[in-house]
Amino acid sequence: MPVTADVCVLGGGPGGYVAALRAAALGASVALVEAEEVGGVCLLRGCIPSKALLRSAEVYQLALHAGAFGVNVSGVEADYPAMRARKDRIVRQLVRGVGGLLSAAGVTVIRGYGTLAGAGVVEVDMGDRGDLVMAPKVIIASGSSSVMPPVPGTDLPGVIDSDGAFELEEPPAQIVVAGAGAVGVEWATLFALLGSEVTLVEMLPTVVPNEDADVSAALRKILVQQGVTVRDGTRIESIAEREGGLRVSLRGDDETSEVDATHVLMATGRRANALNLGLDRMGVTHSAQGIPVDGAMRTNNPDIYAIGDVTGQRLLAHVASHQGVVAAENVMGGSAVYHDDVVPACTFTHPEIASVGLTEADARERHGEVIVGSFPFQALGRARAFGDTDGFVKLVADAANGRLLGMHVIGPAASDIIAEGALALQLDATLDDLRETIHAHPTFPEASAEAAWQAINQPLHLPQRRARARAS
């Protein structure tokens, strides 16, 4: 029997379910169509399960080095099946939580695959049967999928993507991770902390190439210290079977080499799920790269919106959620606008990476003269007490007025510290605003204020540079 609603949301990931909740809160009747469990890749096979496993690996390492904290621990072992079981419990709890929120909001959840069938009509394929949703407004939140590059041998057993990595019953003995973006370095970190022999391969000359150059260099050094073999400026030519595993052929600058592995993890990117949605029927502009939208998240069809990964913009869960709110408010007659200039990004290596705004290189290119301040966690009391002193907080500001242009963090609690940088950029704060804000002591965010003091060459807990200091 057809379902009638004011709004139909296609996809129940962090963008889709948030859009459904916001639209319902604004008084709409909402139907949410999702082929799997609500939560999307982020909750089921991405953000949450990977962070659960990474936390288990960090606890394992902490137990191994507990003696440094005056705690004697013996017989420490990594029980990977138990780690996976913990991860699965967390995912189930959160899926139930999202389902409960949708139910409490009165959202009708339909398990199936939805396509646009005509104006105000969504056809839902439920496998053994079909149904229709009649809704004048549609929000598309169909997400993205991992992409295998055109490398010979990617169809061999043992060659996996991030989804396949979650299915491994034990950490691989030897693994080649292709791609040193956020996904690649997180898996490389996890397996290295659990004792795997890891080779990280990146075509570009730096790991996490989208990050500030100083952060990239620091992470490379830390990965090597953790036992990861980093092959940047290198690409995979082919993958072949060998006795007991795989042989990976690599090409760097005018040289070739081979690496043996039990597994190869392809972490080389994702593609928007923008095809097979019935978009042509509704005249919605789209391509394999995504669905173009305006600042209101509206497609070229005024009754159809798109959010999250399917737009081909920033493939981040928190961006999808924010865009879901913007789309829902506009569907209900509002005037919300998505701004792409203040978007924090976090990478959960050990230690973490987080950034918002412009890198130093981009800031110099766009603004000319800039002020840069950096404060190392080695000089921070909380980091010393915590026992985790790798990394720094780096600030980039406009030399003309001190306005913050970017914050870049590598170190403990980086994903928490970056919230201050995002708020500062949102409010057009300056270095003076950061350093004059009282930061609680002893805390990790104190490093932000210290970096602001260092930027104007008036450091409090670092030696002053020889250059003449600017007056406070």
Alpha-carbon distance of 339 to 393, in angstroms, equals: 25
Closest C-alpha to 122, from 244, 15, 281: 281
Single-letter residue type at 386: F
Starting at the edge strand found earlier in the chain, the sheet holding 197-202 runs 159-160, 263-266, 174-178, 197-202, 229-232
Largest interatomic CA distance in the chain: 77
**Do residues 332 and 27 lie in contact, with contact meaning Cβ atoms separated by under 8 Å?**
yes
Closest C-alpha to 122, from 234, 282, 232, 240: 282
Would residue 441 show up in a list of annotated catalytic residues for this protein? yes
Catalytic entry in 65, 286, 350, 441: 441
Closest C-alpha to 40, from 186, 165, 141: 141
Residues 367-379 as b or e (16 or more Cβ within 10 Å = b): beebbbbbbbbeb
E strand map for 322-391? 345-347, 352-357, 370-376
Write the DSSP string, 169-199. SS--SEEEEE--SHHHHHHHHHHHHTT-EEE
**Do residues 432 and 453 lie in contact, with contact meaning Cβ atoms separated by under 8 Å?**
no
Token pair for residue 201? 């391969």
Alpha-carbon distance of 286 to 34, in angstroms, equals: 21
- Residues marked active site are found at 441
